């Protein structure tokens, strides 16, 4: 069942992250607040070292915040400590990751790269294969389902990577420079696909990017400066 428009999917309250102690301490994030709702596509901008990837990794439950609260899809998962014990399961159930480089396994064809994630989540081989084919067809790359990654174009490989990220129908899609390796036309196509996915699946997209040619594809541009988030 589709959610009501505007339901909060990611809620960050006073999230901070520091590395090191004493004179060597670095404050990567300082009291960050952010809410992203179903159907929204937002960007995190800022110079290298501003905290963008750190924030993305905290939302992805990959690194620990130093303080604050994190709520994902209406579930409080961090409150000055993890409330969920099985973070791997949380990532499998709720979060899809897309990276600058597709990171497809070179010894698996397109459909098996997608199906692998489903098998890890407990689907049978037949269920995983069927879902993989459906996703590749949805992303208009189904005709390449038997191709090995080395034989895919850059745009095709990125679509397969998006299919893999969507395998378990995540509510949160995190993208780290998803269009940096693509030309302007392909970058626009990828962002239009992400917009379509957000709207049709009541998901939210949070992307770290330096790619100015896609800024107009986002609902909101958030800027990180010295660990603080600004609009």
Instruction: Please report the pLDDT score of residue 187 as a whole number.
Output: 81
d(CA 162, CA 47): 26
Higher pLDDT, 156 or 36: 36
Mean pLDDT, residues 17-32 taken together: 88
d(CA 45, CA 65): 20
Please check the confidence at residue 162 and state whether its pLDDT lies above 70. yes
Instruction: Please report the pLDDT score of residue 195 as a whole number.
Output: 87
Higher pLDDT, 12 or 121: 12
Biggest CA pair distance of the chain:
57
d(CA 144, CA 81): 44
Higher pLDDT, 188 or 100: 188
Q: Which domains does the chain have, with CATH numbers?
A: 8-230 (3.40.50.300)
Instruction: Please report the pLDDT score of residue 1 as a whole number.
Output: 37
Contact 180, 100 (CB under 8 A): yes
Q: What is the pTM of this model?
A: 0.84
Mean pLDDT estimate for the chain: 88
């Amino acid at each position: 069942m589709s959610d009501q428009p505007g339901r909060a999917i990611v809620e960050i309250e006073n999230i901070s992250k520091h590395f090191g102690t004493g004179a060597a301490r670095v404050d990567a994030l300082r009291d960050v607040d952010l809410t992203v709702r179903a159907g929204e596509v937002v960007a995190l901008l800022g110079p290298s070292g501003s905290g963008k990837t750190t924030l993305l990794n905290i939302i992805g439950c990959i690194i620990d915040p130093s303080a604050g609260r994190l709520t994902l899809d209406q579930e409080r998962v961090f409150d000055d400590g993890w409330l969920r014990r099985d973070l791997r399961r949380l990532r499998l159930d709720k979060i899809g990751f897309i990276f600058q480089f597709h990171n497809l396994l070179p010894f698996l064809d397109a459909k098996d790269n997608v199906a692998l994630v489903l098998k890890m989540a407990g689907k049978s081989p037949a269920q995983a294969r069927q879902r993989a084919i459906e996703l590749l067809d949805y992303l208009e790359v189904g005709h390449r389902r038997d191709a090995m990654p080395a034989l895919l174009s850059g745009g095709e490989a990125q679509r397969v990577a998006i299919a893999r990220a969507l395998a378990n129908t995540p509510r949160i899609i995190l993208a780290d420079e998803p269009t940096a390796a693509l030309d302007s036309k392909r970058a626009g196509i990828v962002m239009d696909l992400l917009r379509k996915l957000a709207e049709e699946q009541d998901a939210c997209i949070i992307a770290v990017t330096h790619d100015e040619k896609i800024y107009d594809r986002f609902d909101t541009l958030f800027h990180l400066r010295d660990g603080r988030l600004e609009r």
